[in-house]
Chain A
Amino acid sequence: MKDALSLARALCDPGSVGRLDARGWTALIAAARAEQLIGTLAYRLKGLAIPDAAERVLADARASAEHWRRSALWEAEAARRALGPLDCSVILLKGTAFAAAGLDAGAGRAIGDLDILVPRDRLDDVERALLEAGWEWVKPDPYDDAYYRRWMHELPPLIHRERDRMIDVHHTILPPTARITPDAAALIEDSVALQNGLRVLSPPDMICHAVTHLFADGDLSGGLRNLWDIDRLLREYRNDAVVWEALPRRAERHGIAREFARAMRLTERLFGSPIPVVSKRGALDPFYVRRLAARDGWGRETRKGLRLAFYARSHWLRMPPLMLAEHLWRKARR
C-alpha cells in the first residue's frame, strides 16, 4: 500500500476490500487508524464477509466510536445545562453536530473536543457560565491568551476539571486573520434547533463549514477525514433540492466559492461524491490529491516535501506575513 488511495476506495466502495490479502488488511487498518478513519471504515464494512482477525479489529473500532459518540453527546448536554439559563443560541459544530443530528457523517467518526458556535456579543456571558459550571482555562500563558482573543475565532480552549474534556467556543468558523470571512450572523440566523434546544448549522452551512475546515484548519492534515465528512453530507442532502440549489450561493455568500469548488472536485475525485456544481479542473488539484493520500501502509506520513509546502501555505493563509513572523518569533523564543 503506497498511499491512502486504497483507504479512500475502501470507504466509498466497501466491496473493494474483497481483494485484500492479510498484508493488505494490516496496511489498511494502520492507514485508517493514522487518518482517524478506522471507526468510519468499520461502519462502512459492517456486515461484509471479511477475515475474522480484521472483523475483530473493526468490531472494536465500532465500540470505540460508540464510546466517542456517547462522550461527545454528554459533553454537549453538559454545555446545554451550563448555558441553558443564558437564553442564547448554542450551535454544535463538526463531529458532535453530526452525532447529535443523527447524520451519516457521524457514523463511526472520531470526535475530539466539543466545538460550539455562539453569537459574538454573548461570548463573555458564555465564558462566565462555563467557568461557573466547572470548566477551566487550559493555557495560563498570557501571550497565548491575548493571541486567541485577538486573532482567533474562538475563546482560548477550556477544559472541564472533572471530566477532563475540552470545549472550544467559536464566534465564527474561521479566524478573523484569515482572508476569508464567513458570514457568522447568517450561520447563526439560519441554524436549526434540535429536540433538546441545542442547534446545528443549516445543511448548506454545515457543508460550507466542512469545506472551510478542510482547507483552513492546519496543513491539510486529517484532510481525508474532513473530505469524507463533505462526501457524507453531500450524499445525505443530495435529494433535497432546496439544499442542493442553495449550496453554491451559500458558499459565495461566505466568500468561499473557490474553496467550495475545489472541495467538490476533490471529493468527487476521491470518493465519487455527487456534487452540485461542476467546475474546471484546478492546476493544483493533483497536488491536493497527492497530499490527501500521503500515508503509507505502516501509517507513516509520506511525501514530506509536499506536506511541508502545504504547511507553509497554511500558515501563510491564516495570518498576514508580518503577523506570522511575529507569531513564529514569539513561539520560537519559548
Chain B
Amino acid sequence: MKHHFDVRIGPVGFRIGSAWRRPVTELATLYAGYPGPDGGIADFTVRLEPERPWRRWLRPSIAIRGDFTLPDAAPLSLAHGLLAAEMGMNLQMALGQRRFLLLHASAVERDGRALLMTGHSGAGKSTLAALLGERGWRFMGDEFALLEPDTGLLHAFPRLVSLKNGAIAQMESEAAAERFGPRLGATPKGDIRHMRPNPRAIAEMGVPARPALILFPRYGFEAADRPMGASEVFVRLTQASTNYVALGEAGFDALSTLVRRVPARAVDYPDTATALGMVEMLWAELAG
C-alpha cells in the first residue's frame, strides 16, 4: 500500500497499510520509541483503505480491513484515522490471536506480579490502569491482557491508551503533553484522545508477569468489595475472552488454572481516588 507503518506491541507485530499519509504520520508520532515487529515479520496486517475507490479523495472515508475483517463494520472519517488504526489492530487481536488467551482486561505490574482488571465498558478498567501506570506500577495494557497457556504468565500489550470523554482531562493533568495524540471529537465512542504509555511501560513490554489478583471494578457505586468464587470468575472471563473457544484444551487449562490460583474481588467505587486506595489495600491483602 502507499503508506505503511510497522510496530510491535508486547509480543505482537503489526503492519498497518494506509491509502492516506495522515494516519501513518500520526501513528509514527504517537508510537515513537516502540520497536518494529520481531524479525521484521508482522503477525497481523491492518489495511486502512477507501470504502470505495473514489472515496479516497471524495469525502474520504476509511474502511478498516486486514487479515481479519468484520463484514459490516462502519467506515470512519479520515480525521479519525488514528482511531481506525487502533480499531484495526484490536480487531486482528480479537479475531486472530491464537498464541495467547486473550482477556478483555487492563493490567498493571508490580514486583513481577500482575493485577488484572476487567468489566463492562465504562467500568473504569482503562482509566484505573492508566493512572496506576503513572503512580508506581508498570502499565501492561488498557484493553487486552495476554495469558500464555504454557507458562500461565501474563504478557503485556501496552498499545496507546484510548482515553474517552471524562478520562481525557484526568490524564492530561498526569502526563506530559507530548504523549497525547489529537483530540478526536464525535467518534462513534464519543470524544477520544490517545496517550502513549510511559517509557518504562514501553521499555519493559517484553517482560511478562505472574497474575496475582483479578478485580472486577464497577464505577458509580458506594465503595464495597466482595470475594468472587472461582466458577463466577471463570464464566465472566470466558465472556471477556474472544478466543477462549478457539484455543481448545490449552485455553481450558490456562483459564481453569488462573481462576483456581488467583484471588478475585468485585469492587464498586464512587470515584477514582477511592478506587486507587481500594486497589492498593486489596493488593496488600491478597497478592502476597
Interface on A for B, CB 8 Å cutoff? 21-23, 25-26, 29-30, 33-34, 51-54, 56-57, 59-61, 63-64, 66-67, 70, 298-300
Contacts and interface: CB of A to CB of B under 8 A. Distances in A.
Contacts of B245: 67
Nearest to A304: B53
Interface string B81-101: 000000000000000001100
B3 to A, nearest CB: 12
A54 B44 CA distance: 11
A52 B39 contact: yes
A25 B41 contact: yes
B41 A51 contact: yes
Interface string B38-56: 1111110101010000000
A248 B233 CA distance: 59
Name the prevailing secondary structure of the A interface residues.
helix
A22 B98 contact: no
A53 B37 contact: yes
A29 B14 CA distance: 12
Given A30-B45, A298-B17, A299-B67, A22 B40 contact: yes
16 contacts: A29-B41, A29-B42, A30-B15, A30-B45, A51-B41, A52-B39, A53-B37, A54-B39, A57-B43, A61-B98, A63-B98, A66-B248, A67-B245, A67-B247, A298-B1, A300-B47
Contacts of B41: 22, 25-26, 29, 51, 53-54, 57
Report the 10 A-B pairs with minimum CB-CB distance, sorted nearest first.
Answer: A22-B40, A53-B41, A60-B98, A53-B39, A30-B45, A33-B67, A53-B38, A25-B41, A26-B42, A51-B39
Nearest to A20: B41
A33 B44 CA distance: 10
Interface of B: 1, 13, 15, 17, 37-43, 45, 47, 49, 66-68, 98-99, 245-248, 250
B246 A67 contact: yes
B36 to A, nearest CB: 9
A298 B43 contact: no
A270 B13 CA distance: 31
Contacts of B99: 56, 59-60
A68 to B, nearest CB: 9
Contacts of A64: 98, 246
A51 B43 CA distance: 12
Contacts of A298: 1, 17, 45, 47
Given A53-B39, A298-B1, A300-B47, 19 more contacts: A22-B40, A29-B45, A29-B67, A30-B45, A30-B67, A33-B67, A51-B39, A52-B39, A56-B43, A59-B99, A61-B98, A63-B98, A63-B248, A63-B250, A67-B247, A298-B47, A299-B45, A299-B66, A299-B67
A29 B40 CA distance: 13
A214 to B, nearest CB: 23
A110 to B, nearest CB: 13
A124 to B, nearest CB: 33
Given A298-B17, A299-B45, A299-B47, A34 B38 contact: no
A144 to B, nearest CB: 18
Contacts of B47: 298-300
Contact of B45 (A26, A67, A70): A26
A65 B98 CA distance: 11
Contacts of A51: 39, 41
Nearest to A27: B45
Nearest to B38: A53
Contacts of A34: 67
Nearest to B6: A26
Nearest to B4: A298
A54 B40 CA distance: 10
B100 to A, nearest CB: 10
A30 to B, nearest CB: 4
Contact of A23 (B17, B38, B40, B246): B40
B61 to A, nearest CB: 17
B13 to A, nearest CB: 7
B67 A22 contact: no
Contacts of A33: 67-68
Contacts of A25: 41
Contacts of B66: 299
Nearest to A296: B1
Nearest to A21: B40
A298 B204 CA distance: 31
